[in-house]
């Protein structure tokens, strides 16, 4: 016998749980469930991230990232206070290493100001050293409101809240198929069959595969692993908050940075290398099916042709510690190899278009009886409660939801 619901969410990460929470707040009379193949919530991107509460500096004004990050950060901080989850506004410095980066720094200031980032301002070398005494750079942007939080703890709090409110959390239920029957979607899982009139997916590393069960995804997920080094306890003084580079718009990823963590640790990195498995958190993790899928995708081959030099450099840094340390020393010259311990790692689910373009903004796609999140990279965790509002609006419209 199928379990019957009004709304089923595929994916128990922070965006999926936040969306069900928002829908339940609006429509408490609807029956809802969350499906996930793992045995705990937030096992992937929600539990493998740097824990930064982004203020909204980097994103193109008017984009979903820009709009939802700024609002989402406010909502996330309110949620943290309400649920007793500590966070810290430790501040971020975006440093220009030399005069060649000053033009991009000014553009970034204009972008962040347009996005409504509070307190964002440019500082000179003396104030830069006051904020981060061990950082290099000729000038910097200071975002005092950028913060840190444990998004894994937030994700678990959301799950506990939903269960207490009567939402079914069906862990260990990997979705294997979706069919239509009598106006509802029938979702086959490894834990049994469920039916729903509204199917929403926020499946992260597997978002394109889940979406493909109901529609033809217009992008493909390509996994990129990011490895961090951790500063030993006696070297944490080298970073007081967050030290970031000025992004190079000609490159696909941000670059290495120093990140103070909610638990007092300091992470240095990451690099960005192709993961040979969608859940490949270690260098030795290889899934032949995942690898063949990526290498056979025309979009990835076009990306690789464009950025092969950058990719080769990232692989070299991944394999050779001294190369990684040399890159870190551009931003904190005093850091030494013996002060760094390898790990941890995360895998970014990057949506890639058939023409080889990396999808930058959050990306949603509707299918028959389904609504799918196909790209939710950083700052999705920060923005999750605001993304949830958008998805709830879309779901109400697509499925004519009413309590």
Question: Using an 8 Å Cβ cutoff, are 121 and 143 in contact?
Answer: no
From its phi and psi, is residue 117 left (phi > 0), alpha (psi between -120 and 50) or beta?
beta
Residue-level pLDDT, tens digit, the chain, 403 residues = 689 999 999 999 999 999 999 999 999 999 999 999 999 999 999 999 999 999 999 999 999 999 999 999 999 999 999 999 999 999 999 999 999 999 999 999 999 999 999 999 999 999 999 999 999 999 999 999 999 999 999 999 999 999 999 999 999 999 999 999 888 999 999 999 999 999 999 999 999 999 999 999 999 999 999 999 999 999 999 999 999 999 988 777 888 999 999 999 999 999 999 999 999 999 999 999 999 999 999 999 999 999 999 999 999 999 999 999 999 999 999 999 999 999 899 999 999 999 999 999 999 999 989 999 999 999 999 999 999 999 999 999 999 987 5
Within a domain: 379 = yes
The Cα 18–Cα 388 span in angstroms is 6
Q: Torsions phi, psi of 229, nearest 5?
A: -105, 150
> Which domain covers residue 39, as residue numbers?
3-46+152-219+360-399
The residue with tokens 């909204």 is 56
The Cα 309–Cα 295 span in angstroms is 17
Within a domain: 304 = yes
Within a domain: 303 = yes
* DSSP code, position 59: S
The Cα 47–Cα 15 span in angstroms is 12
Number of domains in the chain: 2
| H or E, element range at 229 | strand 220-231
* DSSP code, position 101: G
Q: Say whether both 214 and 226 belong to one domain.
A: no
Within a domain: 301 = yes
What is the residue-wise DSSP string for 373-393?
EEE--TTHHHHHHHHHHHHHH
What pTM does this model have? 0.96
Q: Say whether both 8 and 112 belong to one domain.
A: no
The domain that contains 141 carries what CATH number? 3.30.9.10
């Amino acid at each position: 016998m199928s379990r019957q619901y009004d709304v089923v969410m595929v994916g128990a990460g922070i965006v999926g749980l936040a969306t069900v929470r928002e829908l339940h707040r609006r429509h408490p009379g609807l029956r809802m469930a969350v499906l996930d193949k793992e045995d705990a919530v937030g096992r992937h991107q929600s539990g493998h991230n740097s824990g930064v509460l982004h203020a909204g500096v980097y994103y193109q004004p008017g984009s979903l990232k820009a709009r939802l990050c700024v609002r989402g950060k406010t909502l996330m901080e309110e949620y943290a206070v309400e649920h007793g989850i500590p966070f810290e506004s430790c501040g971020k410095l975006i440093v220009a290493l030399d005069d060649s980066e000053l033009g991009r720094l000014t553009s970034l200031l204009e972008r962040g100001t347009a996005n409504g980032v509070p307190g964002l301002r440019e500082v000179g070398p003396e104030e830069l050293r006051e904020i981060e005494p061990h950082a290099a750079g000729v000038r910097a942007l200071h975002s005092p409101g950028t913060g840190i939080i444990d998004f894994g703890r937030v994700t678990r709090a959301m799950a506990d809240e939903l269960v207490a409110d009567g939402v079914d959390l069906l862990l260990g239920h990997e979705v294997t198929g979706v069919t239509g029957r009598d106006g509802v979607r029938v979702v086959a899982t490894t834990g049994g069959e469920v039916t729903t009139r509204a199917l929403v997916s926020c499946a992260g590393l597997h978002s394109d595969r889940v979406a493909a069960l109901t529609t033809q995804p217009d992008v493909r997920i390509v996994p990129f692993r990011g490895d961090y080094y951790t500063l030993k306890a006696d070297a944490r003084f080298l970073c007081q908050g967050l030290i970031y580079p000025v992004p190079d718009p000609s490159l696909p990823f941000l670059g290495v940075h120093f990140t103070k963590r909610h638990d007092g640790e300091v992470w240095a990195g990451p690099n960005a290398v192709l993961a040979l498995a969608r859940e490949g958190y270690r260098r030795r993790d290889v899934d032949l099916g995942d690898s063949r899928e990526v290498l056979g995708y025309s979009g990835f081959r076009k990306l690789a042709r464009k950025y092969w030099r950058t990719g080769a450099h990232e692989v070299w840094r991944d394999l050779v510690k001294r190369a990684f340390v040399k890159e870190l020393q551009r931003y904190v010259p005093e850091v030494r190899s013996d002060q760094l311990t390898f790990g941890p790692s995360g895998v970014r689910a990057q949506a890639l278009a058939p023409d080889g373009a990396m999808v930058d903004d959050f990306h949603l796609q509707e299918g028959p009886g389904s609504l799918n999140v196909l790209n939710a990279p950083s700052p999705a965790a920060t923005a999750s409660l605001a993304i949830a509002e958008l998805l709830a609006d879309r779901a109400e419209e697509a499925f004519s939801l009413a309590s």
